[in-house]
Structure 1
Amino acid sequence: MARPAVSSVTRRIFLIATEESGDRLGAGLMKVLRQRLGDAVQFQGVGGRAMAREGLVSLFPIEELSIIGLAAVVRQLPKILRLISRTATAAVELSPDIVVIIDSPDFTHRVARRVRARDPRIPIIDYVSPSVWAWRPGRARAMRGYVEHVLALLPFEPEAYQRLNGPPCSYVGHPLVEQLATLRPDAEEQRRREADPPVLLVLPGSRRSEIRHHIAVFGQALGRLREMGVAFELVLPTMPHLAEAVRAGIRNWPVAPRVVIGETDKRAAFRTARAALAKSGTVTLELALSGVPMVAAYRAGAAEAFILLRAINVQSVILANLVLGENVVPEFLQNDCTPEILAAALRDVLADTPLRRRQTEAFAKLDTIMATGHASPSVRAADVVLATLRNARRAVQA
């Protein structure tokens, strides 16, 4: 297929984001690119509401890919494959100056490989690295065949790509580093954080399947903690689409939490919390940046656990531990995720103990570890996209 000549005026950028977190990253990137290029840029591809506000008309609603659980994926596989094919075809037919895939590697990387096979001249940027450092490390080397550059959210990822012989990788920064003002307490909130009874957060997950696996054991652990004579004010932050599942799950908890809904109220709870019980995930990094010591746990279905526990090749699955480079947050996985174990660990992290002090001292290092200089993550990401565009343009003209 003959590729149209690249316009000297307009840059065509095809972006693909299929989850809300990726949609927010894509919107931030689009905003900076629009500031840099003005009207000389056109955006197309797949995205959600945030990217739509920046001018993207999505090929399809990203809610069509909100599929949770292995059984659901199997049932929806023909639909998923059709959407992959449709997205790749749209990208090739547009013949953009660059494709930016954002997170969701099970979808976006399949699109990228098809685009590369059909038109190798289109450069591809991967915004958010898959967890090649944790499992399936061979993916890094394979990505060299269809990705020009990886934009990393975590500071240790460029070294991992170099070690695994992957494509060039640049640390652009995690979006959380732009949100520190909403995570850190003011003077009044700090007084509440230090006051009794302490605010204890419980965070069972951001997906229905995660809530289903954690809600009962977390409730039992909190009941055991209360039986130990530990006083606390329990707060459970969640999102609107999960509120019904959460309320159903806590109906029989021995300790009733105060449920707060939405990102604003969640951050307010973080700013007053003394400690947290959290499902392993990005929330552990969010808590660490907030200065909230925690206990982290994870339970999965039997089949998923069998695969993951044999595939993971890192010393910790806690994101905060990985960024810090030391295992300061205790993690209790599968059979170790029991009410008795969790309650004992929570008692320690709520009190002035070596465990709590070690966490707070480590968390104080995160600003330096995750620093991005004077540029925001979106600006740093845009810098790489524009540099790749310039290099591709020079290659066409050569």
Structure 2
Amino acid sequence: MKPLKVAIFAGEVSGDHLAGALMAAMNRARGIRWRGVGGDTMLGEGLAPVFAMEAIEVNGFDAIVKRLPHLLARIREAADAVIADPPDVLVIVDAPEFTHRVARRVRRALPHLPIVDFVSPTVWAWRPGRARAMRAYVDLVLALFPFEPAVHAKLGGPACVYVGHPLFEAMQRPAPPSGEALLVLPGSRRGEIERLMPVFGQAAAAAAGEREIQVLAVPHRRAQIEALAADWPVAPRIVSGPNAKAETFGAARAALAASGTVTLELAAARVPMVVAYRLDGIGRLIKALHPVLPIVKAPSMVLTNIVIGRNEIPAFLDDEGTPEALAAALRPLLADEAARMAQQATFDAFHGAMAVDGSPGENAARAILDFLAARSG
């Protein structure tokens, strides 16, 4: 069997890890010749790079504007590399601002080339029209959440297959942790940390009682978190490093978390939680316009709630999340077994919905190979 030629493009570190797991599984199944853009994980699986992934990594809107001519040139370079040496399939991995633009250019030049998108854009949360638009240049979506195939079908998007979520796979536990600390997770972005740390500090101090308060800090934000925690009524223990997540999750009785993918990890690890978020100026403008111009479509800002279809995890958006409201929601999760068991029942439903046979990388590889076999007849 001659090697399969696969072009694969990722635009950020998380996509590199996803793509690396996919590549490893496909390499075990058959011979592959890889070409595209990725990071160290993908390079380790045999990727021949068109250019280094660092060439397209940017942080923040201002950086995108400043580097726009450079980024557009890299998009053209990536697409031209595929067009010049057509593969058997093009796989784009997350980072839609980069990868979807590459896919659109390739589809115009090679209309019959199969294109697979690994990670659905959040069409279920905002800009749902993107799903139908994707049909013009994507043939198959590999989804990380079990509700996404139905969403794409409803919105007129491409064929979509649920393959599992690597963060759920990595963090899932059959039973809740046995720790006693109150865990605080203020996020990973500078702005959200600045907005959440003061209110989280007051809420944690009011709810914790004699319990230890631990703060999980991403390493590159530790100094900022330490500076903001200095003003808390009760001094927390700040934890960061390669094993920090496993350590703090295992020591937690309950968590106060910023909205984001960490709430998925908490649910996978069965840590009872309260979730909050404080909007920036643009977010508040969108919220104010929502009654007349609904932009955000998500039924909840907590991924666990979306997966199970019920708003069971307490969530507080913006000014709703006062220290008093957060503390009142946290206290039962620290002391009331009935409240704790109610969240464990929620986690049971979540685990049931997220479960897959095999790993996400293996399932994604199988889906691509089956898709290509079906197309070839």
What displacement does 1:165 show? Answer: 1.3
Distance 2:327 2:317 in 1: 14
What displacement does 1:57 show? Answer: 4.0
Distance 1:257 1:87 in 2: 47
Give the count of matched residue pairs. 372
> Deviation per CA, 1:48-69, whole angstroms, max 9, x where unpaired?
1221221224444434444333
What displacement does 1:156 show? Answer: 0.9
Distance 2:210 2:35 in 1: 53
Distance 1:357 1:47, change over 3 A: same
* Equivalent residue, structure 2, for 1:262: 241
* Equivalent residue, structure 1, for 2:278: 299
Q: 1:215 aligns with which of 193, 197, 214?
A: 197
Q: 1:204 aligns with which of 171, 183, 186?
A: 186
Distance 1:59 1:337 in 2: 47
Distance 2:56 2:199 in 1: 29
What displacement does 1:185 show? Answer: 6.5
SS for the counterpart of 1:274 is: strand
Distance 1:71 1:353 in 2: 48
What displacement does 1:159 show? Answer: 0.9
* Equivalent residue, structure 2, for 1:381: 364
* Equivalent residue, structure 2, for 1:3: none
* Equivalent residue, structure 1, for 2:78: 87
* Equivalent residue, structure 2, for 1:390: 373
What displacement does 1:327 show? Answer: 0.6
What displacement does 1:76 show? Answer: 2.8
Worse overlay, 382-391 or 281-290: 382-391
* Equivalent residue, structure 1, for 2:299: 315
Distance 1:82 1:255, change over 3 A: farther
SS for the counterpart of 2:67 is: helix
Distance 1:377 1:355 in 2: 32
TM-score (norm 2): 0.91
Q: Is the 8 A contact 2:202 2:323 kept in 1?
A: yes
Q: 2:40 aligns with which of 26, 44, 49?
A: 49
Distance 1:86 1:243, change over 3 A: farther
* Equivalent residue, structure 1, for 2:24: 31
Distance 1:278 1:14, change over 3 A: same
What displacement does 1:201 show? Answer: 1.1
* Equivalent residue, structure 1, for 2:318: 334
Distance 1:107 1:205 in 2: 25
Worse overlay, 25-34 or 50-59: 50-59
Q: Is the 8 A contact 1:88 1:115 kept in 2?
A: yes
**RMSD (Å) for aligned C-alpha atoms:** 2.2
* Equivalent residue, structure 2, for 1:244: 223
What displacement does 1:263 show? Answer: 4.3
- Structure 2 gaps of 5+ residues are none
* Alignment partner of 1:360 is 2:344: yes
> Deviation per CA, 1:268-309, whole angstroms, max 9, x where unpaired?
221221110111111111101111111111123111342365
TM-score (norm 1): 0.86
Distance 2:334 2:348 in 1: 18
Q: Is the 8 A contact 1:185 1:271 kept in 2?
A: no
* Equivalent residue, structure 1, for 2:267: 288
Whichever residue aligns with residue 214 of structure 1, its letter is: L
SS for the counterpart of 1:365 is: helix
Whichever residue aligns with residue 146 of structure 1, its letter is: Y
Distance 1:106 1:42 in 2: 25
What displacement does 1:28 show? Answer: 0.5
What displacement does 1:169 show? Answer: 0.5
Whichever residue aligns with residue 61 of structure 2, its letter is: L
Whichever residue aligns with residue 313 of structure 1, its letter is: K
- Structure 1 gaps of 5+ residues are 1-7
Q: 2:250 aligns with which of 245, 255, 271?
A: 271
What displacement does 1:180 show? Answer: 4.3
Distance 2:186 2:146 in 1: 27
* Equivalent residue, structure 1, for 2:329: 345
SS for the counterpart of 2:243 is: helix
Distance 1:73 1:349, change over 3 A: farther
